């Protein structure tokens, strides 16, 4: 399959390119596009065959439902059987933006979007290219992250190209995404909203908006099976084994020294502050605060290819603010968790 690629400047979208991409989506094809979180791989959410194309291209397990993306709250309403007031409050406060609400589906979207569940996840993204594309095609667009299943999510068009060139019909290159980790998924089918996946909107922000918020117990306890089916899969994995190390920079250095003595080449993934105190074969600086670290995380997880280093050592981060999402992803990406 030939993958058509368009380059678009966020501030000055090329409407002809957006119309072409929208036409492909309306025609039942798969098109990747930027959102403010990560790149999504879109297809017409009302067309079962089109949606199958997403699962095929990504190699995504069929029991992992997709998020439907829409341009407006009215369009969101047209996909659900009820819109409880708590969901409405969250939507008014945080959308367009990195929030996905899970609500009872009314069956307008194809059955494979929801993997047969009675609920559907819906999001109104904020990225100008995503918004223009959704407006131009005027259909709900099912869109998971535009990566091969199991790999880190794409935050640049080149990441998408690396994974999906030749497997999808189009790629709208709108530059780097902003937030860097996926949307927060919130189940709004009960009285109290439940965070199923931490993401761009933090639990503290949700609480400030609606009072009580619960967190899916499976996020803290690996014995429980998660309510968001996708959360049970290995995800975000770099090509090289990665140890996630809870400890001081000195603890990290001791592990690096020991493994180097065992003839391993070590790549370190750490904050700017820790990088100043560390020596390894290669050091990737993720940034100086949690927002910067989130934005650079997936690119960093893709940097080391097989053979570059033998082991990645990554430090842990405080689970405050977007740190919850960062640590959730790092725990899934790591082959071992080392608590010093």
Q: Helix, strand, or coil here: 192?
A: coil
Among 144, 154, 180, 200, binds ligand AMP (CB under 6 A): 144
Q: Alpha-carbon distance 204 to 207, whole Å?
A: 5
Of the candidates 206, 199, 169, 173, the one whose C-alpha atom is nearest the C-alpha of residue 185 is 199
Considering the complex, state which of residue 137 and residue 228 has its C-beta at the smaller distance from ligand AMP. Answer: 228
Task: Kindly state the number of chain residues that form the binding site for Mg ion, as judged by CB under 5 A.
Answer: 1
Considering the complex, state which of residue 112 and residue 285 has its C-beta at the smaller distance from ligand AMP. Answer: 112
Minimum CB–partner distance for residue 35 and Mg ion (Å):
12
Q: Hey, which residues between 114 and 143 contact ligand AMP (CB under 6 A)?
A: 114, 117, 119-121
Name, in order, each residue with C-beta under 8 angstroms of 40's C-beta and a sequence gap of 6 or more: 32, 33, 34, 69, 125, 130, 141, 143, 144, 145, 146
Which is it for strands 170-173 and 31-33: parallel, antiparallel or unpaired? parallel
Q: Hey, which residues between 226 and 255 contact ligand AMP (CB under 6 A)?
A: 227-231
Of the candidates 138, 126, 135, 129, the one whose C-alpha atom is nearest the C-alpha of residue 170 is 129
Minimum CB–partner distance for residue 155 and ligand AMP (Å):
13
Considering the complex, state which of residue 203 and residue 227 has its C-beta at the smaller distance from ligand AMP. Answer: 227
- Cα-Cα-Cα-Cα torsion 296, 301, 307, 310, nearest 10 degrees, comes to 110
Of the candidates 38, 6, 46, the one whose C-alpha atom is nearest the C-alpha of residue 137 is 46
Minimum CB–partner distance for residue 34 and ligand AMP (Å):
14
In DSSP terms, 5 is beta-bridged to: 171
Considering the complex, state which of residue 196 and residue 301 has its C-beta at the smaller distance from ligand AMP. Answer: 196
Minimum CB–partner distance for residue 266 and ligand AMP (Å):
30
Site string for Mg ion, 131-170 (x = CB under 5 A): --------------x-------------------------
The strand ranges marked E within 254-309 are: 266-270, 282-285
Minimum CB–partner distance for residue 3 and ligand AMP (Å):
20
**What does the binding site for Mg ion look like in residue numbers (CB under 5 A)?**
145
């Amino acid at each position: 399959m030939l993958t058509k690629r368009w380059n678009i400047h966020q501030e000055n979208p090329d409407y002809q390119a957006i119309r072409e991409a929208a036409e492909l989506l309306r025609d039942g094809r798969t098109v990747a596009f930027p959102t403010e979180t990560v790149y999504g791989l879109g297809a017409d959410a009302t067309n079962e065959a089109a949606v199958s194309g997403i699962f095929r291209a990504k190699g995504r397990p069929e029991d992992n439902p997709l998020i439907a993306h829409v341009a407006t709250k009215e369009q969101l309403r047209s996909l659900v059987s009820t819109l409880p007031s708590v969901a409405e409050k969250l939507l008014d406060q945080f959308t367009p933006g990195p929030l996905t609400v899970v609500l009872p589906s009314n069956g307008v979207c194809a059955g494979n979007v929801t993997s047969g569940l009675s609920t559907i996840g819906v999001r109104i993204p904020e990225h100008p290219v995503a918004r223009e594309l959704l407006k131009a095609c005027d259909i709900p667009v099912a869109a998971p992250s535009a990566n091969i299943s199991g790999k880190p999510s794409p935050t640049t068009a080149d990441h998408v190209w690396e994974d999906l060139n030749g497997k999808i019909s189009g790629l709208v290159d709108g530059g780097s995404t902003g937030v860097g980790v996926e949307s927060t998924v919130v189940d709004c089918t009960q009285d109290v909203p439940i965070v199923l996946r931490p993401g761009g909107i933090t639990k503290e922000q949700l609480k400030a908006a609606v009072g009580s918020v619960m967190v899916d117990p499976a996020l803290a306890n690996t014995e429980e099976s998660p309510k968001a089916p996708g959360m049970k899969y290995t995800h975000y994995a770099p090509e090289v084994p990665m140890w996630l190390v809870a400890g001081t920079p000195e603890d990290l250095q001791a592990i690096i020294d020991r493994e180097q003595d065992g003839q391993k080449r070590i790549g370190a993934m750490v904050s700017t502050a820790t990088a100043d105190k560390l020596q390894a074969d290669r050091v990737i600086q993720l940034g100086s605060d949690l927002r910067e670290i989130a934005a650079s995380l997936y690119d960093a997880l893709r940097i080391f290819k097989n053979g570059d280093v033998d082991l990645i050592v990554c430090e842990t981060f405080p689970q405050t603010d977007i740190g919850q999402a960062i640590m959730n992803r790092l725990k899934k990406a790591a082959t071992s968790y080392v608590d010093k």
